[in-house]
Amino acid sequence: MSESLLIVENDITFSEVIARHFAARGWEVDVVHDLAGARRRLIEESRDPLLVLAETTLPDGNALDLLEFLRQQGEAGHWVVMSGRGGIPETVRALRLGADDVVEKPCGVGRLDDVLSGARQVARAQRRLRGRNAAADDGEIPSAFLGRSEAAQRVRQYLSRLKDVPFSSLIITGDTGTGKGLVARILHHAGARSDGPMVEVNCAALPRDLLESELFGHEIGAFTGARGRHRGYLEQADGGTLFLDEIGEMDLDLQTKLLTAIEDRRLRRLGGERAIRVDVQVIAASNRDLEEAVTKGRFRRDLYHRLSVFRLDLPPLRERLDDLEDLVPMMIAEFNVSAGRGVTVVPQKVYRTLRQYHWPGNIRELRNVVERAVLLADGDVFPDQWLQLGNRLGREPSEPSLDGDRVTIPLDGSMALDEIDRYIIQTVLEKRGYNIAATARSLGTTRETLRYRIGKYKLRTAPMRNKPTGTGKPALH
């Protein structure tokens, strides 16, 4: 696994020698020759190398001054100091500032090898502990997926199983706002790769050319504006997890390059000549039907099958309304802390109102509603007047209707897209006597896509004899 080492050394020849030495031993090496360069990397660019190897006496100042500043900010990390002129006082100062070790110059690469090997182990352990503590603080364990509903319990069961499985890739599906990012973080921090980094990428937020550069990295001069070398997200996630949100928005040619990198476990930066090995667990997420996108040629079939070693479908909030009484108090407590409020009482009238709403924005929309109400609360009672759920408050949602072969769907927002899809498919199934081929022809789709939708929505494929349960179970494939 490649780990980053920042070398701060004013002797250019010596810095080149040790840079080559440690690069050959698996380090991702970056070299600067003065204090300004070190400040730029560690402060302006917010780099977080596993180790810093720094000469104290630099042309424009003392590296220990930078270490002291970073230590005061709580961002110093792990340093090995090379001291050639300061003697014992400088060594004492370095150790008091928390340097892992001090090496007297002149020194050979063998000596540096021994020192950095020990410091590397300490830095790894500290980073692992920090990651686990952060995961615990953030509740990033399976129980962090709150809810008493059957659907929520089933998701937690799947997460508990998956965290013990060294899977290479997984797809999370579900409507926007159902918690796909939370689930990805749970799987990383509770899983076997919690020691490694987690890098999150929203594929829909970056244009195609920029996304390629960010994923794979680039060398100096690879394109106009490439003034420095850049380690891409795949490299940054080496040894850990790469979370690709909204992967359905990625261009087909970029999907090809991603598939090659995942399967070969190596990549080339843009403008680079050297293949770089990477070991990455990939979690992809989409609110789109990727199987349908494959059928329509909008998503590569081979990439889909490579990613869908496992698949976890997250239920929408409207299918887990029993979870409101778990979710709302948790969100209230969070916003009480951040906003200095003291809301502790939630009247049953509030829960009744929340249950009548359709929640097209799912958990994300619920968070917005709770945040607004807590911020505007005057006392300890959750104010129902600030729910502001629109003209659907307190009334039944509009109903779709069927007249012969004509389906009428309300466009007042009372039905989400998936619900419309579900209603139309179930209606045509019934009209065609539950004949899959005839239903697919009527809907202008394939039997494979139709079967997927039937499974996704838990639709009936035979005349109903008993009342359906409508549990909205997520599926693990």
Exposure b/e, 232-259, CB count within 10 A at least 16 = b: bbbbbbbebbbbbbbbbbbeeebbebbb
Question: Do 265 and 239 share a structural domain?
Answer: yes
User: Could you give the number of structural domains in the chain?
Assistant: 4
CATH code (residue 96)? 3.40.50.2300
Query: Are 399 and 366 within 8 A, CB to CB?
Result: no
What's the pLDDT score for residue 137? Answer: 47
Could you give the CA distance from residue 112 to residue 443 in angstroms, rounded to a whole number?
69
pLDDT of residue 280: 94
pLDDT digits (tens, 9 = 90+) for 18-49: 998 888 887 888 999 999 999 988 888 878 88
The helix (H) or strand (E) run that includes residue 6 is: strand 3-8
pLDDT, residue 139, reads 46
Q: Buried b / exposed e across 298-323, counting CB within 10 Å, b at 16+? A: ebbeebbebbbebbbbbbbbbbbbeb
pLDDT score recorded for residue 446: 87
pLDDT digits (tens, 9 = 90+) for 47-101: 888 899 999 889 888 899 998 888 887 776 789 988 876 567 777 888 878 888 8
Mean per-residue pLDDT of the chain: 84
Q: Would you say residue 416 lies in a domain?
A: yes
Q: What average pLDDT does the segment 426-444 reach?
A: 88
Q: Is the pLDDT of residue 122 over 50?
A: yes
What is this structure's pTM? 0.58
Position with higher pLDDT, 407 vs 217: 217
Looking at residue 282, which CATH number applies to its domain?
3.40.50.300
Neighbours of 119 (CB within 10 A): 20
Give pLDDT, residue 475: 44
Amino acid letter, residue 194: S
Average pLDDT, stretch 266-290? 91
Q: What percent of the chain has pLDDT over 90?
A: 31
48 and 124 inside one domain:
yes
The answer to whether residues 328 and 303 belong to one domain is no
Residue 202 lies in a domain: yes
Q: Are 143 and 152 in contact (CB under 8 A)?
A: no
Shared-domain flag, residues 259 and 387: no
CB proximity list for 3: less than 8 A, separation 6 or greater: 26, 27, 28, 50, 51, 120, 124
The enclosing domain of 409 has a CATH number of 1.10.10
Same domain? For 100 and 158 the reply is: no
**Cα 389 from chain centroid (whole Å):** 29
Residue-wise pLDDT for 212-236, tens only, equals 888 998 888 887 777 777 888 998 8
C-beta neighbour count of 285 within 10 angstroms? 25
The answer on 284 and 182 residing in a single domain is yes
The pLDDT of residue 472 is 38
pLDDT at 272: 86
* Domain, as residue range, for 94: 3-135
Between strands 169-173 and 266-267, the pairing is unpaired
Per-residue pLDDT at 53: 92
Nearest to 32 by CA among 68, 58, 67: 58
Q: How confident is the model at residue 466 (pLDDT cuts 50, 70, 90)?
A: very low
